[in-house]
Amino acid sequence: MRDGWIAIAGLGPGSDAMVTPQVRDAMRQATDVIGYIPYVARVAPREGLTLHPSDNRVEIDRAVHALTLAAAGRRVVVVSSGDPGVFAMAAAVFEALESGPPAWRDLRIDVLPGITAMLAASARAGAPLGHDFCAINLSDNLKPWGLIERRVRLAVEADFAIAFYNPRSKARAEGFAAILRLLRGICGDERPMLFARAVSTSDEHLQVVPLSQATPEMADMRTMVIVGSSATRIIERAAGPILYTPRSAA
């Protein structure tokens, strides 16, 4: 058991150019890689490395699997896209750790940060998160919908720029439409929004639109949505608009 460890590693938004050397190094030392199918698919197979891809929504099973392997002496990398600490596997591993055998607490567990989706999207569009901001997961799998709406209202009242993770999936088609209606009621029609799909991959697609022109169909599972604060501005250019929030409050 003493040689086993877990590294919970962030692969960034998609491009290998945004994977940190620290994460690469953990991959080289690993005996096992555990994670959601499309993230494990980003890891190059090699002799001595066992890949354990698993389906979505089995985060706790995956976490228990990782802890069990590490306790048996394996060197386990749990992969998330983006940053593992932001709506990803790190919290799931610690939930499993807290409710698991006490001996698991002697394991070495490292969290290796990555470029989270909101920062990758923000960078591609300019700097919409350049002043105070918040991050809200729009999935209601793990929290009541009423809490999500309440947080969005308070975030607008605080005049944060808002990054929405998991804005919309096939199983949750209606929620994001309700959020757009809520935002129109409290932000007005002209608030700038960013829809950034699959940033840094060959499927990348960016749209900057005023709230009045935003539609639910602009978002899917691979889209990061950012709503500007009242101070967020657009610079028009031939090469495409830049979206940014100045450092000073309005």
| Tokens found for residue 85 | 């600490």
Q: What tokens were used for 181?
A: 């209606």
Could you give the angle at the alpha carbon of 248 between the alpha carbons of 246 and 249, nearest 5°? 105
**CB nearer a second copy, residue 217 or residue 246:** 246
CB nearer to a second copy: pick between 13 and 195: 13
Task: Determine the interface stretch with a second copy among 35-43, 144-152, 188-196, 215-223 (rule: CB under 8 A).
Answer: 144-152
Interaction between residue 84 and a second copy (CB under 8 A):
yes
Q: How far is the CB of 12 from a second copy (least distance, A)?
A: 8
The radius of gyration of the chain from alpha carbons, rounded to an integer in Å, stands at 20
User: Cβ of residue 122: shortest distance to a second copy, in angstroms?
Assistant: 5
Q: Which position among 49, 177, 209, 242 is part of the footprint of a second copy (CB under 8 A)?
A: 242
Among positions 50-69, residues that touch a second copy (CB under 8 A) are 59
Helix (H) or strand (E) holding 192: strand 192-197
H-helix or E-strand containing 37?
Answer: helix 37-40
Own/partner contacts of 141-149, CB < 8 Å, gap of 24 or more, are: 141/57, 145/175, 148/175, 148/179, 149/178, 149/179, 149/182
101-120 positions binding a second copy, by CB under 8 A: 105-106, 108-116, 119-120
Of 47 and 238, CB closest to a second copy:
238
